[in-house]
Amino acid sequence: MHNQTITEVENKFTYLENGSVTSAKGFQATGIHCGIKKKNKDLALIYSKVPAEAAGVYTLNKAKAAPVTICENITKQNGKAKAIICNSGNANACTGFEGHLDALEVQKKCAEVLKINSNEVLISSTGVIGERLNVSAIINSLDTLKNNLNDEGGILAAEAIMTTDLVSKHFAVKVQLSNGEITIGGIAKGSGMIMPNMATMLGFVTTDAKIEKEVLQSALSESVNDSYNKISVDGETSTNDMVLMLANGMSNVEVEKDSNDYQIFTLALKDLSIKMAKSIVADGEGATKFVTINIKNAPTEKDANTIAKAIANSPLVKTALNGGDPNWGRIISAASSSGADILPEKVTLYFDDLAVFQPNYKINDVEKEAAKLLAEKNINITLDLDYGNASTTWWTCDYSEQYIKINAHYRT
Amino acid sequence: MHNQTITEVENKFTYLENGSVTSAKGFQATGIHCGIKKKNKDLALIYSKVPAEAAGVYTLNKAKAAPVTICENITKQNGKAKAIICNSGNANACTGFEGHLDALEVQKKCAEVLKINSNEVLISSTGVIGERLNVSAIINSLDTLKNNLNDEGGILAAEAIMTTDLVSKHFAVKVQLSNGEITIGGIAKGSGMIMPNMATMLGFVTTDAKIEKEVLQSALSESVNDSYNKISVDGETSTNDMVLMLANGMSNVEVEKDSNDYQIFTLALKDLSIKMAKSIVADGEGATKFVTINIKNAPTEKDANTIAKAIANSPLVKTALNGGDPNWGRIISAASSSGADILPEKVTLYFDDLAVFQPNYKINDVEKEAAKLLAEKNINITLDLDYGNASTTWWTCDYSEQYIKINAHYRT
């Protein structure tokens, strides 16, 4: 069994129209307005009809929000989960012991209404840091939330986890395995504070595949690494990031450890995760450009990622892209000051297929063609280091005046 | 001899009105328009009547501009220098072998006009990356440049090295040593791409102290570390950064290695450097706020600096400060995701003396008072980690919509 790539197996993937966390068998969901935000949906529930294996990947920020530590405890243990409840509008972060009790209270009351155990309820929050959660608004809405659960409610849930997001993010893919078909569906939110190692982004993924907990965890971790960990909106890592995944086995199609099916399953999950990650970048706060950064022929994968990250996070690159200015010197400068192993004199820099900068500092006279490419919404930057065999791809957006406006007055 | 602090000896410092690189004995300077920029001064010359010891600190960016490598070679050798020539409007960076020849040509022709050796001329550039330098514009102006040299020309030189700077930066301090008085004067430019480990900033410092080359280098390195390396405008490190220092001995006051005078000299140089660094931040591109970040009681100095840097570079903190929003959660989040050793539950966060966040996540109800403090132009943030004895102070500015405007269309 060789290591397959997404391209080799993507003929086994069928993306569904309006796919979401309710696309896989046995999952229901909904999203309602409970009163944390002034208007718009702010409370989501995802529910599995049968107990599901649960996996999670969490923020590396040391000021972890209360829901993060609660979910970490659950997914690290062996118990199964049946529900994910998530509010937007308040992060329940930096709220200390009281905040932790608030989260436990929501978890407990939600479990009571659903008639399941507390530790079968995963809990998540996103929004403003450092304000106490409006627990009663949530609790008073739990009956409504439960009554609204339905087999097509995944998109409502996607809407309810939005903060400054402009569009809801939801996808689902059917995957042909050797013993039948399974479905993986997900919803996500992003917008600001998006950056490697997760940042303020939430992703909830469901599947009806039958898969052991630790196999599920390993597929999820690998997928996050190649998707959410390669996007950046502003280089920030938030207190609340998490990707949770539930696998309820209702397809009766098994995904066994180390099998060919496991590889295909993981590639499908990765493909779905990349789609969700890219949709987060495209909807970055104030973003007007979607930028793909390819690093080729780097000495190591670590160098490739360090350079891609430095370019993706560079305010000078991001502002130049906003202005459509092919100021490629800033890209070379960001790459060369990243700390990664790079020989600037060997580098070739492309916008799409147009080489603007070649080895030995040869500058091509293609300013007009370059400006034309940068006027597009989708921008492809490729840096060929000619210094090894490692490569990576990252996705980012530009910095606009709108980004400043949104974040200067986020709470007002 | 105990390690003195700036506070203990600052009564020995007298800052001069309109001080600059021509305040110390035996230095002349000027700044003119030679035609690299469309208008405004773009060529500066600093000249010492007698050969001077030369020291330098340089960018860590691997794509070092041609002038950087030329100066590094000179200051690392034992020869003395008599002149610093610097153009603005073009960085002569990423210009390869031709760019290197261009820089050597400017250096050689400048030496001929001044009737000194080529390796007595230090050379520096700042401006757009990746465009060939207009060498003939410089060479054709060298006679004028020389003829304009004068004992009070330091401020003209400060004006000629500006790029997007709004104000020229120049300071000089007289220092009382045991055997007499010496003067240290400097000019600097900054604006964007300002960040630890130098970034696009230039600093040129002169002194009439009599000091050995390696002693001078050590005083300069120490000063840079506690000044320019603790400021950040946008987290970028440029291809052209340098701080050069010339000491011509014309005061006949000696500063000996390891002496008490050396300590005082270094503290004065550090004090001057901090003033220059702070003036760079205050004039950061689009800056509307001047922000001082104090980290106290950190486990190590490295942790303190990592946390200060993370806060100083956080787009979310910088945009909140721009809006005057006391969104302190973003400061805690930036500190906690910096990778430094921090226990969020022990932290106290102050705006001025107002504690907004206390140990065990206690949030003080001081939103109005905090908003009032953040409405000021000068903002003081102090984070007490209660987790050791190390401390640091950094300086930064906010991100405004103007920052985006300036950088989206820098070259147009």
Most confident of A6-10, A397-401, B365-369: B365-369
Which are the contacts of B337, defined by CB distance < 8 A and separation ≥ 6? A59, A60, A61, A62, A63, A236, A237, A238, B310
Note if B200 is an active site residue: yes
pLDDT score for B409: 65
Q: Do A96 and B362 touch (CB under 8 A)?
A: yes
Angle B353-B357-B363 from CA coordinates, rounded to 5°: 125
Look at the block and give the residue holding tokens 């007009």. Answer: A368
pLDDT score for A212: 92
Cross-chain CB nearest to A337 (options B128, B237, B410): B237
Full set of structural domains in chain B with CATH: 7-282 (3.60.70.12), 290-408 (3.10.20.340)
pLDDT over 80 (residue A79) = no
Contact list in B for residue A192 (CB cut-off 8 A) is: 316
Chain B CB within 8 Å of residue A334 CB: yes
pLDDT over 50 (residue A412) = no
pLDDT category of residue A196 using cuts at 50, 70 and 90: very low
Closest chain B residue to A90, measured at CA: B329
Chain B CB within 8 Å of residue A387 CB: no
Distance from CA of B81 to the nearest CA of A (A): 29
Contact list in B for residue A335 (CB cut-off 8 A) is: 63
Distance from CA of A207 to the nearest CA of B (A): 31
| ipTM for this prediction | 0.72
Angle B64-A347-A372 from CA coordinates, rounded to 5°: 105
Q: Do B94 and A334 touch (CB under 8 A)?
A: no
Spans of chain B, pLDDT less than 70: 1-2, 191-200, 233-238, 407-412
pLDDT score for B233: 62
Closest chain A residue to B400, measured at CA: A404
Q: Do A62 and B401 touch (CB under 8 A)?
A: no
Distance from CA of A44 to the nearest CA of B (A): 24
Interface of A with B in 65-104 (CB under 8 A): 91, 93-99
Using CB atoms within 10 Å of the CB of residue A247, give its burial: 0 to 12 exposed, 13 to 18 middle, 19+ buried.
buried
Chain A CB within 8 Å of residue B125 CB: no
Cβ atoms of B392 and B230 closer than 8 Å: yes
More confident residue, A137 or B60: A137
Which are the contacts of B270, defined by CB distance < 8 A and separation ≥ 6? B6, B222, B223, B226, B227
SS (H, E, C) chain A: CCCCCHHHHHHHEEECCCCCCCCCCCEEEEEECCCCCCCCCCEEEEEEEEEEEEEEEECCCCCCCHHHHHHHHHHHCCCCEEEEEEEEEECCCCCHHHHHHHHHHHHHHHHHHHCCCHHHEEEEEEEECCCCCCHHHHHHCHHHHHHHCECCCHHHHHHHCCCCCCCCEEEEEEEEECCEEEEEEEEEECCCCCCCCCCCCEEEEEECCEECHHHHHHHHHHHHHCCHHHEECCCCCCCCCEEEEEECCCCCCEECCCCHHHHHHHHHHHHHHHHHHHHHHHCCCCCCCEEEEEEEEECCHHHHHHHHHHHHHCHHHHHHHHCCCCCCHHHHHHHHCCCCCCCHHHCEEEECCEEEEECCCEECCCHHHHHHHHCCCEEEEEEECCCCCEEEEEEEECCCHHHHHHHHCCCC
pLDDT score for B286: 79
pLDDT category of residue A399 using cuts at 50, 70 and 90: confident
**Rounded to two decimals, what is the model's pTM?**
0.79
Chain segment A169-188, per-residue pLDDT in tens: 999 999 999 999 999 999 99
Three-class secondary structure of residue B112 per DSSP: helix
More confident residue, A294 or A277: A294
pLDDT score for A234: 60
pLDDT category of residue A50 using cuts at 50, 70 and 90: very high
Count Cα atoms within 13 angstroms, Cβ side, for A372.
7
Segment (H or E) for B49:
strand B43-58
CB pairs under 8 A between A and B: 207
pLDDT score for A164: 81
Q: Do A329 and B412 touch (CB under 8 A)?
A: no
CA distances (Å), B195 to each of A145, B126, B171, in order? 49, 16, 21
Which are the contacts of A278, defined by CB distance < 8 A and separation ≥ 6? A231, A290, A395
Q: Do A336 and B404 touch (CB under 8 A)?
A: no
Q: Which of A188-202, A244-258, B335-349 has the lowest mean pLDDT?
A: A188-202
Contact list in A for residue B313 (CB cut-off 8 A) is: 235
> Which is the catalytic residue, given B59, B95, B200, B306?
B200
pLDDT category of residue A237 using cuts at 50, 70 and 90: low
Angle A70-A74-A77 from CA coordinates, rounded to 5°: 140
Contact list in A for residue B133 (CB cut-off 8 A) is: none
pLDDT score for A313: 86
Q: Do A315 and B407 touch (CB under 8 A)?
A: yes
A33's tokens: 């307005």
